[in-house]
Amino acid sequence: MRKLVIYNSLSRTREEFVPLSPPHVGLYVCGPTVYGDPHLGHARPAITFDLLFRYLKHLGYKVRYVRNITDVGHLENDADSGNDKIAKKARLEQIEPMEVVQYYTNRYHEAMNRLNVLPPSIEPHASGHIIEQISMVEKIIEAGYAYESNGSVYFDVEKYDKNHNYGKLSGRKTEDLLSNTRELEGQHEKRKPFDFAIWKKADTSHIMHWPSQWSEGFPGWHLECSAMSAKYLGERFDIHGGGMDLLFPHHECEIAQSVAATGHETVKYWMHNNMITVNGQKMGKSLGNFINLEDFFSGANELLTSAYSPMTVRFFILQAHYRSTLDFSNEALQAAEKGLKRLMAGVRTLAKISPGKKTSFEPDKIINPAFEAMDDDLNSPIAIACLFDGVRIINSLSDNKESINEEDLLRFRSFYQTLVFDILGLMDEDIQENTQAAGKLVDLVLSIRNDAKSKKDFATSDKIRDELKALGIVIKDGKDGVAWDWE
């Protein structure tokens, strides 16, 4: 098996990936909080960890990929106070919180589908794991790292820090946190302002709450990932991923909770994708530069000069290394669109190349560096550059300026199939579009045949049937009309 090197955000070094119990790999990635339309910010972590999921499978691992749905406890401003994001939306739209959850979960799935992001192996909801979260709060209290205050339970950061070093992922120190914390509502319940809630007592306005020994309430946002990763991947697992924006406080608190509850580190490798900026600016609802994925696909957003297909968005993201920032601009997307068309045209040309007696170039000089780049912390931009080097050769093959023997041709085709479609997860949208258009043409021709038949012009009707058959389209006359299929 080839050696995969990944950057571990916890050790801040590149490390060889060695799973805890090969060939099995446990992968946990923080999924969306489902209270709004899926946007560009959702696409990057989804595509980054889809690439990792696909590549690990390509390397022969059996991956259990868990990506959660946050549907409770994520309060505004990621803080311990304020409204629950989902409950707020539910109140605004006068529907049940679970209707909000279902609606936006469906929207998220649709968008991910169009981006050809594979579904995870397990997609647990926070609201479906309240019992597991309550039991984790109990364990943390038992271990002495949490305390109850007025029906809520808070994590004792200072005590934890003495024994386990709080802040090792983000590099933040508790002293810095102390000077940076503002006075917020509910603060008087905490021993120290940087303590965070793992169970919150629900006030009267709070519509999502569950009974517990402490109060009628709800779990803190960070707790779900500690509880659900332990449930589905065990108390020690391989990779935890997410966007860099989750590094603090979410992942830092997750580590503290899991270590407090189990007494040991639970995650071997932490991986974080970098953020997307829009014309050099951070993306955010308040900045008015939030672009929904559906807007990309339809072009209905004033920041967009045209619509961009799902594969253009995917290719645009894959053209940057996942740990680099990626700046959205129309120019960058147009370049991605052009590049993707050139790549797909190359793949189609390769399918039509006939083998010659000998190979005039070295296919390994394209193939090996591409996989070496993928082994090097998923360096997709370099792997894509190798694919373009290959496209130049494919065009020369097509012009008979280069030649390739049968064995190398099969190997070259399989390389493109594997890297472009299986690993990078791209699809040839031109073929899809052409197939759809061809389908509509067949329907049109069949309606003309129907008219001919109803006028008893059987000569024309039979001619259409025979000529379609010659094109590989079979039609079947049935009681309920005409059905057709590609042969």
Tokens of 278: 């829009």
Burial class (CB in 10 A: 0-12, 13-18, 19+), 37: middle
Measure the CA angle with vertex 314, ends 313 and 320; round to 5°. 100
CB of 228 to Zn ion, least distance (A): 9
CB of 252 to Zn ion, least distance (A): 11
Nearer Cβ to Zn ion (156/252): 252
Contact status, residue 15 vs residue 2, Cβ threshold 8 Å: no
Tokens of 53: 């999921």
Residue 34 neighbours by CB distance under 10 Å: 23
Nearer Cβ to Zn ion (69/373): 69
122/116 Cα distance (integer angstroms): 17
The contact mask relative to Zn ion for 77-116 (x = CB under 5 A, - = no) is ----------------------------------------
3-state secondary structure 38-61: CEHHHHHHHHHHHHHHHHHHHCCC
Contact status, residue 463 vs residue 449, Cβ threshold 8 Å: no
219/469 Cα distance (integer angstroms): 63
CB of 3 to Zn ion, least distance (A): 29
Please select the residue that binds Zn ion; options are 25, 29, 30, 373, rule is CB under 5 A: 30
CB of 49 to Zn ion, least distance (A): 12
* 336 part of the interface to Zn ion, by CB under 5 A: no
CB of 22 to Zn ion, least distance (A): 25
244/401 Cα distance (integer angstroms): 47
Nearer Cβ to Zn ion (130/394): 130
* Crossing angle of helices 130-142 and 223-233, rounded to 10°: 100
Nearer Cβ to Zn ion (44/449): 44
Contacts of 46 (CB under 8 A, 6+ apart): 112, 115, 117
Nearer Cβ to Zn ion (221/316): 221
CB of 389 to Zn ion, least distance (A): 39
399/103 Cα distance (integer angstroms): 52
358/346 Cα distance (integer angstroms): 21
Tokens of 473: 């389209």
Closest CA to 126 of 52, 186, 66: 66
Contacts of 38 (CB under 8 A, 6+ apart): 32, 104, 107, 108, 111, 112, 292, 293, 294
Nearer Cβ to Zn ion (30/202): 30
Nearer Cβ to Zn ion (225/340): 225
Stretch that binds Zn ion, among 28-36, 137-145, 164-172, 355-363 (CB under 5 A): 28-36
Hey, which residues between 189 and 228 contact Zn ion (CB under 5 A)? 225
CB of 262 to Zn ion, least distance (A): 17
Nearer Cβ to Zn ion (67/321): 67
Stretch that binds Zn ion, among 22-30, 93-101, 180-188, 267-275 (CB under 5 A): 22-30
CB of 272 to Zn ion, least distance (A): 12
How many residues touch Zn ion under the rule CB under 5 A: the total is 2
CB of 383 to Zn ion, least distance (A): 29
Nearer Cβ to Zn ion (50/375): 50
Nearer Cβ to Zn ion (30/141): 30
113/111 Cα distance (integer angstroms): 5
Residue 364 neighbours by CB distance under 10 Å: 11
Closest CA to 185 of 79, 86, 87: 79
CB of 280 to Zn ion, least distance (A): 28
Contacts of 349 (CB under 8 A, 6+ apart): 394, 395, 397, 398
CB of 168 to Zn ion, least distance (A): 17
Nearer Cβ to Zn ion (30/230): 30
Residues that bind Zn ion (CB under 5 A): 30, 225
